[in-house]
Amino acid sequence: MADVIAASNIKSAIDSVENEYSDIEYVTGWRMMLLLAALFLVSALCQIDRILPFILSEAIKADLSLSDTQIGLINGVAFAVCYSLLSLPLARSADRGSPRIVLVACILVWSAMTSLGGLAAGFAFLAFSRLGVAIGEAGAVPAGHSLIARKIAPQRRGLAIGVFAMGIPMGAMAGFALGGLMNDAFGWRAALLGAGALGVLIALVTWVTAGPTAPLRRAQALGEPFMRSALRLLSSPDYRWLFAAAVAMGFAAAPFYAFATPFLIREHGFSASQAGVAFGLMQGLLGLFGTILGGRGFDRAVRSGSGQVLAPPAILFFVAAVTTTAALIVPVGWMALALFAPAMLSFSFMLPWAFGSGHLVAGRGKEALASSLGMIGSGLLGPALGPLIVGAVSDAASAAQIPNGLGLGLLIVPAAAVLAGAACLIANNRIAANHFGKR
């Protein structure tokens, strides 16, 4: 889920480096359409390769004799730490050098490691392959945005970012649906090997459509160092509460996506294809709807001067906490799936509000910094520890012969959603008072 956050509402971050380039010849017409199509495929592929182990986890667990704790480690710590910590250096490499080279290299790395995962014979090798996927995917969003800045004219920048961002929910939908179908038809290894082969093809398409990129006018952006600016922003109570909401959302979203489909398979008898298609379609459609609705809602809140820039997502988080709790205890599978819908919607709906509010607090010229810190907040602790906690609780419940152990572990999702909603409300009140004059 870190890449969903990374791709939303960062137009200002790209615009802030517009003066870094010299003698730019922007692509137009069919060349621009081909580039946007390639970037959409890159974004979708990135999400597919991240999602696949979620829908394949039951088959992987049975074949390799893994525990839920080990599945949590593979889908959590093994991915989140590398992804979060390497995003910044890869972003700097893309900005200072050739974003086309960085992006294509990242695609090839994560695709090769995805395929290697299909050859895994045990936990250690599979975990190693997921580390490699994380290393490659860490550069996908920043390099893609850097390429947009070099190739797409400012007046078309919003369209380009929107197309690139659309790959996230569509890739999630395809990953769950096609992954489940591939698993049932050919096995989990074939699904990973096929995804890796597809990545090589998309890398070639990206290389051809992107073309050479213009050189930088200067190698480094001016201003105070990143860490000093980050600490200054985190010292603001307004941003600290927003950062706390991002951390809580990470603890809700990461285990939800890692274990929701295994829960449907294990507790309600879904096949992998049934769970993947149903969950994937819901996630894709609700992801698109939530992002669009959230963006329009945030713009409306700012224009109206109401200052209610985080109250709507807070309310939705509270609703999602109730419905997700119910989903984990209802006896009917389709009802559980339907009750998961508010959670899916809340995660995508939050993104424009969170990034927009962060930009308001950070101020002009610090939007990219606010976005980067939000990515770290939502993409490090929650994805690293959340799935691990769920897996450990599930294994302990199974050892004690407690039924629905995975459902018990997944209670971390509504608990974290409540904390995210509470942090959003506090941040909302502070931002309304300090930036809109609403006491």
Could you tell me if 172 and 347 are in contact, meaning their C-beta atoms sit under 8 angstroms apart? no
Could you tell me if 323 and 338 are in contact, meaning their C-beta atoms sit under 8 angstroms apart? no
Q: Report the pLDDT averaged over residues 35-39.
A: 90
Q: Which helix (H) or strand (E) holds 269?
A: none
Encode pLDDT of 226-284 as tens digits.
Answer: 667 778 888 889 999 999 999 999 999 999 998 999 999 999 999 988 998 899 889 88
Could you tell me if 151 and 99 are in contact, meaning their C-beta atoms sit under 8 angstroms apart? no
272, amino acid identity:
A
Could you tell me if 74 and 158 are in contact, meaning their C-beta atoms sit under 8 angstroms apart? no
The structure tokens 């290299």 sit at 105
Which stretches within 235-366 are classed as H helix? 237-268, 272-304, 311-327, 333-339, 341-362
Task: Place 158 in a pLDDT band, splitting at 50, 70 and 90.
Answer: low
Encode pLDDT of 294-313 as tens digits.
Answer: 877 887 888 888 888 899 99
pLDDT surpassing 70 at residue 7:
no
**How far is it, in rounded angstroms, from Cα 133 to Cα 429?**
40
**How far is it, in rounded angstroms, from Cα 306 to Cα 188?**
50
**How far is it, in rounded angstroms, from Cα 274 to Cα 135?**
31
Show the domains of the chain with their CATH numbers.
Answer: 2-435 (1.20.1250.20)
Length of the chain: 439
Task: Place 169 in a pLDDT band, splitting at 50, 70 and 90.
Answer: confident
Encode pLDDT of 40-95 as tens digits.
Answer: 999 899 989 988 988 898 899 999 998 888 888 877 776 777 777 777 677 667 76
Could you tell me if 289 and 349 are in contact, meaning their C-beta atoms sit under 8 angstroms apart? no
Provide the sign of the torsion angle of the four alpha carbons 93, 118, 410, 173, taken in this order: positive
Q: What are phi and psi of 380, to 5 degrees?
A: -105, -70
pLDDT surpassing 50 at residue 17:
no
- Residue 223 pLDDT: 52
- Residue 214 pLDDT: 66
Encode pLDDT of 339-371 as tens digits.
Answer: 999 999 999 888 878 877 887 887 765 665 676
- Residue 371 pLDDT: 66
3-state SS class at 83: helix
**How far is it, in rounded angstroms, from Cα 98 to Cα 67?**
42
